[in-house]
């Protein structure tokens, strides 16, 4: 009986430890006129400007409820070779915050986008 309980507990833990990231599929406005499609694909977050398909988030992993982090973030107003440590927080107030940092967090830029 103990073996059955142990195997059952292991199966339960294994089945829930790899839970899928929050499913996101929303549109936000950046700087009032740039439409950004924010979505998850295979558990990773992407933030794509619809006018030119510029990708900002590059597959951020979920770090907690509504929070995603990654180190390949791009800023549309910066040279393309630059990448940033990024954090995206999708709030329940129809807002999204996106922050990119470099030099160990010494230089950061943060924006807030409104959900459409």
Residue 3 resides in a domain: no
Nearest Cα neighbor of 61 from 48, 43, 73 is 43
Question: What pLDDT sits at residue 23?
Answer: 78
Question: What pLDDT sits at residue 13?
Answer: 32
Residue 77 resides in a domain: yes
Where in the sequence is the domain holding 33, given as residue range(s)?
A: 21-115
CATH of the domain at 54: 2.40.128
Both tokens of residue 62?
Answer: 């979920």
Residue 33 resides in a domain: yes
Q: What is the pLDDT of residues 3-29, one digit of tens each?
A: 433 333 333 333 333 344 467 999 999
Spatial separation of the C-alpha atoms in residues 79 and 70, rounded to whole Å: 18
Residue 58 resides in a domain: yes
Residue 101 resides in a domain: yes
Residue 14 resides in a domain: no
Q: What is the pLDDT of residues 58-108, one digit of tens each?
A: 999 999 999 999 999 999 999 999 999 999 999 989 999 999 999 999 999
Question: What pLDDT sits at residue 84?
Answer: 97
Residue 78 resides in a domain: yes
Question: What pLDDT sits at residue 22?
Answer: 66
E strand intervals along 1-116: 25-30, 34-41, 44-49, 54-55, 60-64, 67-73, 84-90, 95-102, 107-115
Number of folded domains in the chain? 1
């Amino acid at each position: 009986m103990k073996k059955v309980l142990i195997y059952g507990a292991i199966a339960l833990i294994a089945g829930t430890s790899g839970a899928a990231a929050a499913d996101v599929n929303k549109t936000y406005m950046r700087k009032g006129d740039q439409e950004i499609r924010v979505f998850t694909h295979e558990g990773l977050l992407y933030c794509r400007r619809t006018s030119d398909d510029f990708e900002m988030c590059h597959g951020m992993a979920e770090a907690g409820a509504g929070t995603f982090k990654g180190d390949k973030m791009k800023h549309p107003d910066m040279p393309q070779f630059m990448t940033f440590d990024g954090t995206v927080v999708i709030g329940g107030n129809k807002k999204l915050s996106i922050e990119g940092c470099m030099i160990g967090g010494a230089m950061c830029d943060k924006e807030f986008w409104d959900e459409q």
